[in-house]
Amino acid sequence: MTGIDGPYTLPEVAAMTGLSLRSIERGCRNGTIEHIPIGDGTARQHRRMYLHQVNLLIEQRSRRSVQAAPPVSSPDDDVAAAIAASRKLHSRRTGRHAA
């Protein structure tokens, strides 16, 4: 490990956070994970992260996205949907359009 405040290499960050090295590298490449690129050109980039960046990464990954519960469909809705699908299929086969 490097100094107390970093900069840490990506394998060290992966060991600290418990995340996979591959997902951290991918996030750094596509810009979703804040890091410090060190090196010339794009051939070989050595990426480092300071402690505040590691803490930000942990905070981002520990936040859960809140999703609304899916609507509960009643059996009547399922029957109506099945009838509509059957009518649509029948009209496609026969060339007639159901009302």
Q: Is the pLDDT of residue 6 over 80?
A: no
pLDDT at 31: 87
- The pLDDT score that the predictor gives to residue 36 is 85
Task: Write out pLDDT tens, residues 26-83.
Answer: 998 888 888 888 876 666 668 899 999 999 999 888 876 666 777 776 767 788 888 9
pTM over 0.75: no
pLDDT at position 69, please?
A: 72
Taking each helix axis from N to C terminus, what angle separates 10-17 and 51-62, rounded to the nearest 10 degrees?
50
